[in-house]
């Protein structure tokens, strides 16, 4: 998965729309992949979690190539669905909650030893905090590192509630992820019980 992502990332690193914005966007990728690599010896996520990480990083890298507000796929969605803005940034924030809550739950169960309701509540709160924290850090990075790229980097597209809506999308994705996880665990539990009774 790392090799596949590396190939995709290299392809998207070629001639991005705004090189300076691309560099800012990829600070997240460098930090995240570096953290996963540094912690691999001490803690390994499941293959499914690494798959979810890979999908999210690909979505992010695609957005970084164009800037989130100017992705070709987002413009196609805007025109097809007759939306008022390019929705790609909203999609990725939703994906942040949908794809990264499961690995956070895995971390909570295996490191913090949380079970039952706490194995759902704590990952949800962590994801919500990460989403809100990212919005705050993003604004500071835009102001300190490159104020002239602020609008392109933040991708607000004139929406004064952009940060709040982004967090809302992440929260919605997290709730859906946890709901699907709960259903999946109930189904597996029932299947195990039927198998035990049959034996």
Q: Where are the domains of the chain?
A: 49-198
Q: What is the DSSP string of 84-130?
A: SS--HHHHHHHHHHHHHHHHHHHHHHHTS---TTHHHHHHHHHHHHH
For the residues 96-103, what does the mean pLDDT come to? 97
For the residues 184-198, what does the mean pLDDT come to? 88
Query: What's the pLDDT score for residue 185?
Result: 92
pLDDT in tens, 106-155: 999 999 999 999 999 999 999 999 998 888 877 776 666 666 555 544 55
Query: What's the pLDDT score for residue 130?
Result: 92
More confident call, 196 vs 43: 43
Highest mean pLDDT out of 36-50, 140-154, 160-174: 36-50
Are 135 and 167 a contacting pair, CB within 8 Å? Answer: yes
Assessment of whether the complete model's pTM goes beyond 0.95 = no
pLDDT in tens, 89-98: 999 999 999 9
Return mean pLDDT, the chain.
88
């Amino acid at each position: 998965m790392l090799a596949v992502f590396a190939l995709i990332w290299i392809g998207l690193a070629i001639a991005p729309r705004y090189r300076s914005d691309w560099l800012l966007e990829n600070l997240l990728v460098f930090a995240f992949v570096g953290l996963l690599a540094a912690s691999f010896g001490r803690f390994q996520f499941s293959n499914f979690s690494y798959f979810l990480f890979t999908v999210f990083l690909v979505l992010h890298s695609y957005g970084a190539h164009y800037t989130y507000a100017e992705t070709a796929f987002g413009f196609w969605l805007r025109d097809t669905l007759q939306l008022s803005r390019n929705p790609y940034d909203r999609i990725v924030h939703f994906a942040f909650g949908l794809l990264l809550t499961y690995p956070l739950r895995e971390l909570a169960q295996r490191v913090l030893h949380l079970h039952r309701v706490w194995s759902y509540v704590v990952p949800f709160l962590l994801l919500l905090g990460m989403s809100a924290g990212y919005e705050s850090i993003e604004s500071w990075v835009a102001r300190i590192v490159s104020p002239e790229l602020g609008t392109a980097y933040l991708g607000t597209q004139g929406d004064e509630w952009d940060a709040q809506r982004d967090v809302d999308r992440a929260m919605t994705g997290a709730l859906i992820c946890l709901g699907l996880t709960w259903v999946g665990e109930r189904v597996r539990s029932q299947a195990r019980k039927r198998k035990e009774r049959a034996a």
